[in-house]
A and B are shown apart, each in its own frame.
Chain A
Amino acid sequence: MNRVIQRLVPGILGALVMLAGTTQAQDVLIRGAKVYTETERGTLENADVLVRNGRIAEVGKGLASGAGVTVIEARGRPLTPGLFGGITALGIEEVSLEPSTVDSSTVYEEARGTAFEPRPEFDVTPAFNPDSVAIGVNRVEGITFAMVAPTALPDGTMFGGQGAVARLDGRTDAFAAASRTLFVDLGASATASSGKSRAAQFMLLEQATRETQPAKPLRDGDARLLTPTGREVLARYLAGGRIAFSVDRAADIRQVLAYSERNGVHPVIIGGAQAWQVAALLAKSHVPVVLDPFLDLPGSFDQLGASLENATRLHQAGVPITFTNFSMPTHAAHKVRHAAGLAVAHGLPWDAALAALTTTPAQVFGLGTELGRIAPGYSADLVLWSGDPLEVTTVAEQVWIEGRSQSMRSRQTELRDRYRPATTPSKP
């Protein structure tokens, strides 16, 4: 009995820490780590990282701790920047099949009775719940930032709406303005929402684009696709913003690139199952691809060329790549780490795989001077690992976001400790 109580007490304390959110901002010296800087300095063995006021202050050997600095002995363990969790619905989707907990999509047809109403102004970020347990579950796995993206429903609009990158430490102002992205779904998965034809998708995309151009004013009586707000929003993204196109087929990727070039858009390809077939073209335009390295089967006719070597071939061609997990993008966003390891098993250089989870996504989504590196001036988003950071048997032992040590407990660890075999008799 005593034993049970003793074992339960840390669990209760852990819960309190968890409820209190992150601990106080602190200055930290992480000593003797294998530091993956993601800079030209490369990987430093037995190095120290000094964090002051939430930022990396210094990276090197034999750094002094100073007063008020918490010292962590890394004992040679790997230290990486916090990882990117991919394109997720973290904070806007608690239980996927419970509509009352899901805010990632919008459909307007019922109200208007029209078949197609693009709403680029739909923005998921006000619905973000930083306390979602799915965030905690992923944070303890080393995921410190992720794209929180809208989802275009099959019966909705191909303009999914706007999302942004969230920092996953429970803060309410989680989003950085520079990461704002407009999402557009093309190809087989979105045809029902946009004329049931790929051709109609591009027709509507061009039409919406023209509506934003003052040089081509609309006359009274012209049918308009966008609301006035929608036109403003789309115009912003066309004037140097970032548009992420969910698209798999090589032919459709070519159309996206042509559209983007015509209209001065900075595209990001999401999915890109057949992207390796147009790798040279993507590299030439420096268009990044967010892909799922697990994808190797033709889930649809748009993915006939799906390959475990997609990441490797794109990287070899010079295309910036980052990862997402399509099978369970939100609750198991952390599976991007497994995916990165798998890409390595299929030819991607190890360093390129870690870059695809750190510095590359930070750069792709406009946060390249803030996140993704262990270098002076960068936000101290760090993960100390039990072993090889890409290995499936490795776990995150400590996570910091902006220098704050994060609770390593989640709702899952609470359940684990309640039912741990050594302490809990069976409850039939």
Chain B
Amino acid sequence: MAALAFCAYAADAPYSSTYQAHPGPPTVIRNATVLDGTGRRLDGADVLIRDGKVVAVGPGLDAGDAAVVDAKGRWVTPGLIDVHSHLGVYASPGVNASQDGNEATDPVTAGVWAEHSVWPQDPGFATALAGGVTTLQVLPGSANLIGGRGVTLRNVPATTYQAMKFPGAPQGLKMACGENPKRVYGSRKAAPSTRMGNVAGYRQAFADAQDYQHQQEKYERDLAAYESKQGKDKDKDKDKDAERPEPPKRDLRLETLVAAMKGELQVHIHCYRADEMVTMLDLAREFNFRIAAFHHGVEAYKIADRLAQEGVCGALWSDWWGFKMEAYDGIWENLAFVDAPANGCAIVHSDDADGIQRLNQDAAKGMSRGQRAGLDIPPERAIRWITSNPARALGIADRVGTLEPGKMADVVVWNGNPFSVYALPDLVYVDGAVALDRKAPPKPPASDFLLGQPTGGAR
């Protein structure tokens, strides 16, 4: 039903989604070990999908005439979700012409949208799909204090980004703490050059946005008053002297920040150090916006309880550390420690075209290190780090991230336990249709760029 609504794209707002689900036949995946993304594990269970939706999960389902996939000995999970990708904006090959991820010309570029940089022919989309990723958020980079809007995409081959855009998903707002903005601008002898300069930069930007919001609201009040007066006086002499109020000039930067304060955007903040994350929580309190997730969060384990209390996710790596001072305190157990408290929300994110292909193995590392540190983290819990938790941070948890009935049928059939170095997706379903079959890889490759190149067939 939802899919039908999105067919009427021609009448939709500019830049909106034109995504259309590929029709897939009713399918039942039989006898699998199912990690459903809600924290449940079902052994010897079936997954029934029909009309692009999950219909049921459980043993011995009555599937009617649905096509049968025998998954005995195999594992089934929801399609994986990456909250932090630069696919399409820092595409492969990394030539000068494709450096489209950082509008590093001003520390506050809240008016730019990552989707306007996305190159759908990036070969990285297909390799991410081969790793089981069915939904991803593409974000601007971290050169700026406020880098712009992120976009959530369905991972399907397409000629335009609109045809990949997740229908109805809120946009993200990318912000960045710490070393990157102050290095980029400080090296140019421009503001910010310090961490205190960073914070002053965010505060001034949001203060400007508050002022902009007041002007907007005043205009709306004045307009309402004007129209009301004109309406009332319809049959009498109109007030010829009353002038229709002029709207304030649109400001794309401030429009974005106002949208964040109204809760229309999911706020994602690149932030490594524990103390800086807490400063950002204060910033959010000062300007009354909600933070969806801290990204990279190499020190998130130091404030795991606070993040859980605030309902803020930590989007993390398993084993990256040491490449700069703010990443010096990285530990393997970061994911597990952030996951530990009640309401803890740990997410494995990639940030690069390589890591997005193996989110399951990054999660496996975090899981096993957490187990060795004494935490009880079974696979059915850790799978949430790459399915339902990122769905929550992206504001799309009602549609993807678990295998509950009614959810979009994004499903991965793995050749075995996904928390293994030998794990590979055998089948990836997007909206109930096979998007990838490992036994029958797309030939020629999906990306136009790779056509006719000496790629040797197999990636």
Contacts and interface: CB of A to CB of B under 8 A. Distances in A.
A298 B323 contact: no
A393 interface: yes
B248 interface: no
Interface string A189-210: 0000000000000000000000
B94 A412 contact: no
A418 B417 CA distance: 32
Contact of A297 (B127, B301, B325): B127
Nearest to B92: A297
Given A297-B92, A299-B94, A300-B95, A307 B456 contact: yes
Which residue of B127, B322, B333, B423 has the most chain A CB atoms within 10 A of its CB atom? Answer: B322
Contact of B368 (A96, A98, A295, A392): A392
Interface stretch (B14-22, B155-163, B369-377, B394-402): B369-377
B302 interface: yes
A428 B277 CA distance: 10
Contacts of A307: 455-456, 458-459
B64 interface: no
B286 interface: no
Given A297-B123, A300-B95, A345 B341 contact: no
A306 B354 CA distance: 12
A98 B323 CA distance: 9
Contacts of A427: 302-303
A15 interface: no
Contact of B421 (A250, A341, A419, A421): A341
Interface string A388-405: 001111110000000000
B359 interface: no
Nearest to B180: A97
A258 to B, nearest CB: 20
A277 interface: yes
A13 interface: no
Contact of B320 (A250, A276, A328, A419): A328
B48 to A, nearest CB: 29
A426 interface: yes
A144 to B, nearest CB: 18
Contacts of A242: none
Interface string A405-428: 000000010011001111001111
Given A97-B325, A297-B124, A419 B337 contact: yes
A277 B456 contact: yes
A72 interface: no
Interface residues of A, number: 55
Contacts of B93: 298-301, 303-304
B305 A391 contact: no
A294 B350 CA distance: 14
Contacts of B358: 342
A279 to B, nearest CB: 11
Describe A's contact surface by its main secondary structure: loop
Nearest to A422: B374
Contact of A304 (B301, B303, B354, B453): B453
Interface string A306-348: 1111000000000000000001101110110010011011000
A57 B420 CA distance: 35
A269 interface: no
A340 B364 CA distance: 16
Interface string B98-127: 000000000000000000000000011001
B219 interface: no
Contacts of A308: 458-459
B329 interface: yes
B459 A327 contact: no
B184 interface: no
B273 to A, nearest CB: 13
Contacts of B353: 297
Interface string B308-340: 000000000001111111001111110001001
B5 to A, nearest CB: 36
Nearest to A249: B454
Contacts of B422: 341, 344-345, 391
B296 to A, nearest CB: 14
Given A301-B95, A328-B323, A395 B372 contact: yes
Contacts of A419: 301-302, 304, 331, 337
B321 A412 contact: yes
A306 B459 contact: yes
A120 B458 CA distance: 38
A303 B453 CA distance: 11
A143 B167 CA distance: 47
Contacts of B303: 426-428
B367 interface: yes
B230 interface: no
Contact of B364 (A294, A327, A392): A392
Nearest to B424: A345
Interface string B447-459: 0001001111011
Contacts of A97: 179, 323-325
Given A299-B94, A331-B322, A393-B368, A421 B340 contact: yes
A242 to B, nearest CB: 29
Contacts of A345: 421-424
B88 to A, nearest CB: 13
A393 B367 contact: yes
B306 interface: yes
A25 interface: no
A345 B321 CA distance: 26
B66 interface: no
Contacts of A178: none
Given A332-B319, A416-B332, 6 more contacts: A95-B328, A297-B124, A298-B93, A298-B455, A308-B459, A392-B419
Interface of B: 92-95, 123-124, 127, 179, 278, 301-306, 319-325, 328-333, 337, 340-341, 352-355, 357-358, 361, 364-365, 367-369, 372-375, 419-424, 450, 453-456, 458-459
Q: Which 9 A-B pairs have the closest CB atoms?
A: A426-B305, A341-B421, A331-B322, A393-B368, A97-B324, A96-B323, A428-B306, A421-B340, A297-B92
8 contacts: A94-B322, A96-B323, A298-B453, A305-B456, A345-B421, A416-B373, A419-B302, A419-B337
Interface of A: 94-98, 134, 137, 250, 274, 276-277, 294-301, 303-309, 327-328, 330-332, 334-335, 338, 341-342, 344-345, 390-395, 412, 415-416, 419-422, 425-428
